[in-house]
A and B are shown apart, each in its own frame.
Chain A
Amino acid sequence: MSQTECGSVREVLPDFASHRLATEGRDAIERHLRSCGECSAELEVIRALMGAPPAIPEGLADDVLSALHVRRAPRRPWWGLTAAAVAAVAIGIGVSADRSATVAGAIPGWATETGEGQVWLSDDGLLAGAPSIDGLSDEALMQLLDDLSVEGAV
Chain B
Amino acid sequence: MKDESRGEDEVSDALAIERARSGDEQAFGLLVHRHHASAYRVALSITRRDDVAQDVVQDAFMKALRALDGFRGDASFRTWMMTITANEARATLRRRGRWSEAPIDDVAPIASDDPNPAEQAVSGNESARARALLETLPEKQRLSVSLRIDDGLSFREIGEMIGSSEGAARVNYFHGIRRLRELMQ
Contact = CB atoms under 8 A, between A and B. Distances in A.
Interface residues of B, number: 67
- B contacts with A: majority SS: helix
Contacts of A110: 25, 28, 65
Given A50-B149, A121-B87, A121-B162, 14 more contacts: A20-B152, A42-B177, A45-B180, A48-B130, A60-B54, A99-B69, A107-B65, A108-B23, A125-B140, A127-B140, A128-B137, A134-B163, A134-B165, A148-B174
B95 interface: no
A95 B84 CA distance: 33
A55 to B, nearest CB: 9
Given A46-B149, A54-B44, A106-B69, A65 B29 contact: yes
B84 to A, nearest CB: 6
A92 interface: no
Interface string B40-59: 11001100001000100110
Nearest to A20: B152
B130 A52 contact: yes
A123 B141 CA distance: 13
Contacts, number: 185
A141 interface: yes
Given A54-B40, A54-B44, A63-B54, A48 B62 contact: no
A89 interface: no
A141 B40 contact: no
B122 interface: no
Interface range for A: 35 or more
B66 A113 contact: yes
Interface in A42-88: 42, 45-46, 48-54, 56-57, 60-61, 63-65, 67-68, 71
Given A45-B181, A122-B90, A133-B171, A103 B68 contact: yes
Interface in A91-125: 99-100, 102-108, 110-111, 113, 115, 117, 119-125
Nearest to B160: A121
Given A52-B127, A57-B54, A134-B164, A148 B171 contact: yes
A60 B36 contact: yes
Contacts of B96: none
Nearest to A56: B37
